[in-house]
C-alpha cells in the first residue's frame, strides 16, 4: 500500500511516518511547508501525481485559544481543508484517514463517550473539527475519522509549543510551583501507540468513525503527578480547579472516549496510559543519552 502522509512534521505525523516505514508500506510524506490543505489546487495536483492508496492527514489548526479568537482560520484548516482532502481523495480513488478530537463533546457525561453519542462542542476549535468530520463523511465514503485525546509524542506539537509532559518537566527543572487542574478528565495518549493502532485500523478497510486512545482515564493533575512519580521528581505540585485560570475558552470537563468501534473491528485495546507514559519517558531519556 502507498500512503500519502500529510502534516508529517507534527508530533503524531512523525510517529506515523516511522510506523508506516516500519510496516513496509510505501510512504509519501508532506510537511505543512510542502503541502497546505487549504490550497485545494495544490492538494489535487499532489494527490493526482502520487496516486496513493490512502491519504493519512494529521493537519490541524489546534491552538484552542487562537481558534477562539480566529475562528475563520480554524475553519479554513479544520473544516474546509478537510473538505479539500475529501474531494481530492474521492476523485483519485484514495481512502482518507483524518484525526479529530474529544473536543467535539461537551464533557457533561461522566461515562466514556461512545462514537454514536451526540456531539456538542463548547468552543470554536471543537466546532471546526466537527464541521470537518461532517464534510469528510459527506464527500469521501472511504474514510476513517479517528477521534483521540491528550496527545504527547517525542516530536512535540509546534502548534501548542511542545507537549504537556515536557512542559511539566521544564517547570519542575526550573523549581516552579506547579498548579494543575483536577476537574478536567481525559485519557493521555502516546502518539507512538496511536500511530500503530491507526495503521492497524487503516488495513481493515472498515471505514467509519472511531475513538482511538490509550486505556484508562485521569485528571490533568493526576497525569502531572504520574509524570513526576515516573521521573523520580518531587516538585511543588498543587491541584486546582479550572476556574483558577482565566480563559476565554470553555473546555469539556470529561473527555474520555469509549472504543466500541475498535472492539467491533476485532482490534485489541491500546496499552494503559501509564504504560504509554513510561515508554515515552524512557525513549526521551534514551534520545538525550
**Active site (catalytic) residues:** 125
- Comparing CB distances to ligand NAP, the nearer of 4 and 59 is 59
Exactly one of 5, 47, 52, 58 binds ligand NAP (CB under 6 A); that residue is 58
Q: CA 145, 207, 150: angle at the middle one, nearest 5?
A: 25
Neighbours of 223 (CB within 10 A): 24
Between CA 66 and CA 77 the distance in angstroms is 13
Task: Show the binding pattern over residues 225-254: x = contacts ligand NAP (CB under 6 A), - = does not.
Answer: ------------------------------
Exactly one of 139, 149, 167, 219 binds ligand NAP (CB under 6 A); that residue is 149
Task: Show the binding pattern over residues 2-21: x = contacts ligand NAP (CB under 6 A), - = does not.
Answer: ----xx-xxxxx--------
Minimum CB separation of residue 126 from ligand NAP in Å reads 10
Beta-ladder partners of 46 = none
Minimum CB separation of residue 260 from ligand NAP in Å reads 18
135: cell is 464534510
Between CA 254 and CA 184 the distance in angstroms is 6
Minimum CB separation of residue 236 from ligand NAP in Å reads 25
- Comparing CB distances to ligand NAP, the nearer of 62 and 87 is 62
- Comparing CB distances to ligand NAP, the nearer of 148 and 219 is 148
Buried b (16+ CB within 10 A) or exposed e, 184-205: bbbbbbbbbbbbbbbbbbbeee
Helix (H) or strand (E) holding 2: strand 2-6
Minimum CB separation of residue 159 from ligand NAP in Å reads 4
Q: What is the DSSP letter of 275?
A: H
Contact 1, 53 (CB under 8 A): yes
Q: What is the DSSP letter of 252?
A: -
Residues in contact with ligand NAP by CB under 6 A are 6-7, 9-13, 32, 36-38, 58-62, 77, 81, 99, 101, 148-151, 157-159
Amino acid at each position: 500500500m502507498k500512503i500519502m502522509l500529510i502534516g508529517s512534521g507534527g508530533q503524531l505525523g512523525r510517529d506515523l511516518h516511522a510506523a508506516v516505514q516500519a510496516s513496509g508500506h510505501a510512504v509519501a510524506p508532506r510537511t505543512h511547508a510542502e503541502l497546505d490543505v487549504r490550497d485545494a489546487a495544490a492538494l489535487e495536483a499532489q494527490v493526482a501525481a502520487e496516486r496513493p492508496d490512502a491519504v493519512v492527514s494529521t493537519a490541524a489548526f489546534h491552538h484552542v485559544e487562537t481558534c477562539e479568537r480566529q475562528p475563520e482560520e480554524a475553519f479554513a484548516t479544520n473544516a474546509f481543508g478537510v473538505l479539500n482532502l475529501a474531494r481530492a481523495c474521492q476523485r483519485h480513488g484514495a481512502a482518507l484517514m483524518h484525526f479529530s478530537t474529544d473536543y467535539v463533546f461537551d464533557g457533561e457525561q461522566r461515562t466514556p463517550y461512545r462514537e454514536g453519542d451526540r456531539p456538542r462542542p463548547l468552543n470554536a476549535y471543537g466546532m471546526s473539527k466537527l464541521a470537518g468530520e461532517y464534510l469528510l463523511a459527506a464527500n469521501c465514503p472511504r474514510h476513517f475519522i479517528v477521534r483521540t485525546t491528550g496527545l504527547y509524542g517525542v516530536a512535540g506539537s509546534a502548534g501548542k509549543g511542545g507537549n504537556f509532559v515536557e512542559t511539566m518537566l521544564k517547570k519542575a527543572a526550573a523549581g516552579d510551583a506547579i498548579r494543575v487542574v483536577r476537574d478536567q478528565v481525559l485519557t493521555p495518549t502516546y502518539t507512538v501507540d496511536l500511530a500503530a493502532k491507526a495503521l492497524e485500523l487503516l488495513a481493515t478497510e472498515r471505514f467509519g468513525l472511531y475513538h482511538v486512545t490509550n486505556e484508562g482515564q485521569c485528571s490533568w493533575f493526576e497525569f502531572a503527578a504520574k509524570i513526576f512519580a515516573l521521573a523520580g521528581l518531587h516538585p511543588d505540585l498543587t491541584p486546582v480547579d479550572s476556574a483558577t485560570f482565566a480563559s476565554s475558552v470553555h473546555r469539556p470537563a470529561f473527555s474520555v472516549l469509549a472504543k466500541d468501534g475498535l472492539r467491533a473491528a476485532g482490534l485489541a485495546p491500546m496499552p494503559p496510559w501509564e504504560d504509554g507514559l513510561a515508554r515515552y519517558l524512557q525513549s526521551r531519556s534514551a534520545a538525550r543519552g
